[in-house]
Amino acid sequence: MAILKDPTIDKKGVEVENLLRALPQLADVNFWRGLNPSAAISNFHFVGQDVSNQVNAADIDAYTRQLQEERYFQSPVLLPEALTRTMRQCIEQVEQAGFPAIFALVYDVFYEGMGYLDSVIKEILGKNYRLIPNFWIYHIDSSEKGKGFEPHRDTEYTDTIDDNGLPTVLTLWVAVTDATPLNSCMYVLPANRDPDYAKAIHTLDKIPIKLFPLEDIRAIPAKAGSLSCWDQYLMHWGSRSSKYAKEPRISYAFYCQRGDIPPVDDAWIDLSLPLTFEHRLALVCRGLNKYSRLNLKSSEHTQPLQAFLEEKQAELVHSTEEKVSAP
């Protein structure tokens, strides 16, 4: 079996010209409030929600065992339908205005939604887990042109598996709409079927994909409001969508790490403090810089946008330094 790499999806595409024209508005909270008047932007305090009716101790035990063996798990629906409906509205309004979907993260609803994941994350990573502000929002069109990211491992950090075989860093992938085989649900190669998984733990280098039986691939459809989690080294990807899909595949993803280990990145978010508009804009800019196909540093034309992104995202790093150095 051979996997063909599509050179058009090395990174997420972003329309640069719209951002350049809108630079004066991007840092204006009232602009974003006017774009989605029904969606709040406040100094939101993170609040964990009780989801014990959806997830019990036996479920957590199963998630833990699957993480140890296959390196991923999926939850039932945890977020209320009203929340995912508002998330979709925010994302679509942002895109209709000509901006990358990730700017929807300025709205409270995405962090309110994370509260419904809190108890599950605590059981896996511990009660003092940290949020790593590496976010992205995915909107895969329900057409033949819509497609997810190519087979890859997240692999931003090495050696994030503890002595019990559990990850110290998790990718959290939240379905905003139903993800199905027709609209590019995620596919994974379970770690116990991956001939290179053990090697991937210890290197940030891309490992050429070896041949493996097609029957080892597993589709992981997800209902809107459910959570899919995997570690840094699980091979995963999104398929090509279909014109027969009933709706686009919309989701957002981010990382969390255990709180009892040193920070794995240069920024993290203290969930005990308010998440201000400025911090949200910073994590949007960080996501654009890390994951989009902008290539701004090589272009004099786009230098103002590059400067804006770097200035704003620096607020996350500075706030982290203040927390670490505080007595």
Could you give the C-alpha distances from 220 to 72, 184, 188, in angstroms and in order? Answer: 10, 10, 7
252 CB contacts (<8 Å, ≥6 apart)?
Answer: 87, 105, 110, 135, 136, 137, 138, 173, 174, 176
In this prediction, residues 216-220 reach a mean pLDDT of 98
DSSP string, 87-153: HHHHHHHHHHTTS-GGGGGGSTHHHHHHTTTHHHHHHHH-TT-EEEEEEEEEEE-SSTT-B-PPSB-
Q: What band does 298 get if pLDDT is binned at 50, 70 and 90? A: low
Would you say residue 87 has pLDDT above 90?
yes
123 CB contacts (<8 Å, ≥6 apart)?
Answer: 60, 63, 64
In this prediction, residues 87-115 reach a mean pLDDT of 96
In this predicted model, which residue has the larger pLDDT, 255 or 45? Answer: 255
Overall residue count recorded for the chain in this entry: 327
pLDDT for the residue numbered 143:
94
Residue the block writes with tokens 């990718």: 171
pLDDT for the residue numbered 141:
95
From CA 247, how far away is CA 237, in angstroms rounded?
A: 19
In this predicted model, which residue has the larger pLDDT, 29 or 307? Answer: 29
Percent of the chain with pLDDT over 90: 73
Q: What band does 211 get if pLDDT is binned at 50, 70 and 90? A: confident
In this prediction, residues 89-96 reach a mean pLDDT of 97
Percent of the chain with pLDDT over 70: 90
In this prediction, residues 208-221 reach a mean pLDDT of 93
With respect to CATH, is domain 7-325 assigned 1.10.510.10? no
pLDDT for the residue numbered 2:
34
314 CB contacts (<8 Å, ≥6 apart)?
Answer: 282
Would you say residue 38 has pLDDT above 80?
yes
List the domain boundaries for the chain. 7-325
Would you say residue 184 has pLDDT above 70?
yes
Q: What band does 326 get if pLDDT is binned at 50, 70 and 90? A: very low
In this prediction, residues 210-229 reach a mean pLDDT of 96
Q: What band does 319 get if pLDDT is binned at 50, 70 and 90? A: low
Nearest alpha carbon to residue 305 among 100, 95, 140, 30: 100
132 CB contacts (<8 Å, ≥6 apart)?
Answer: 169, 254, 255, 256, 257, 264, 265, 267, 268, 269
In this predicted model, which residue has the larger pLDDT, 48 or 222? Answer: 222
pLDDT for the residue numbered 116:
97
Amino acid at 3: I
Q: What is the mean pLDDT of the chain?
A: 89
Q: What band does 291 get if pLDDT is binned at 50, 70 and 90? A: confident
pLDDT for the residue numbered 8:
36
